[in-house]
Amino acid sequence: MLRPVSHRGTGSEPATDRAGGLRAPTEAVTILRTVDALRAALLPARRAGKTIGLVPTMGALHDGHLSLIARARQECDVVVVSVFVNPTQFDEQSDLDAYPRSESRDAELAGGAGAALLFAPAVAEIYPQGHTTSVHVGAVTEALEGEVRGAGHFTGVATVVLKLLNIAAPDIAYFGQKDAQQVVVIRRLVRDLNLAVQIATCETVREADGLALSSRNARLSPSERLRAVALHRGLAAAQARATGGVSDPAQLLDSARAAMAEFDVVPEYLELVDEDTLEPLQALDRGGLLVVAARLGQTRLIDNATIQPADALRSTHATGRETELCSA
């Protein structure tokens, strides 16, 4: 079934500590711009044995990001939010140029959600002159976003994430499920390179009509915004067919396309894949990941949902088990 989602709130709900007590939001964060400064700021907490959480972002924070920060504050003693628009993962210069940036707003929101430190380096700090090393994760990067955006996209993602993990050395790093393929890539990176960090994935936060929150949503025109709900409607239509007993991926995908067509939206890709390998499923005999991408005007959106077969749903209802909002 479609996983439970957190719907958009105010972004100012107080964080709770690990004992369940309320913690007052941090009123201001310390903004740091260099690797040395961040490491120095974290050293006292590290020496004291405190847990450090990292929430990597490209800024333009919204309630989806804030839910990650709040979860990190609930589970960790110190929360670092990185704000870095990574140029190496953009396949279109126009997309990079148009990406929204508002550091002062980001700092205020991050502090309100519970972050203590905001790491906002310049490009030259992350990629100094003469930088020639990059990280390539095989297999899971080749299809879907990798095919559409090119091989360099996930090389850029993997490289910057590895650098941020090395710089901050967090105990836990938090990522949103909306970028499902990115999460798979990062988990593979951590596993293959034996990195001493736990990767926590938090569920997609959505608008009331189901649109997944994204910094790119601000670039939608009013008419495009109305049509953008097509992605979520397509995912929901496929799950409805699965709940009714349909296990043939072709039929599920046809239902999703038909639902999207009602909004005059054609998917750039629409696939039902294995959650770990991202290989296409031949039958929905276990939980699968339904992933979709589409363009509305000049804006490209992605979304996904875990689709469960009908027998798995019956088993879940019988046992009363529910999916947690954030999972490691």
Q: Which residues are catalytic?
A: 65
Burial class (CB in 10 A: 0-12, 13-18, 19+), 324: exposed
Q: In angstroms, rounded to a whole number, what is the distance separating the alpha carbons of residues 252 and 230?
A: 15
> Do residues 84 and 127 lie in contact, with contact meaning Cβ atoms separated by under 8 Å?
no
What are the strands, taking DSSP E only, across 115-217?
117-119, 172-176, 198-202, 205-206
| DSSP element (H, E) containing 268 | strand 267-273
Residues 6 or more apart in contact with residue 201 via CB below 8 angstroms: 174, 175, 176, 177, 183, 326, 327, 328
Number of C-alpha atoms within 13 angstroms, CB side, residue 87? 10
* Residue 165 one-letter amino acid: L
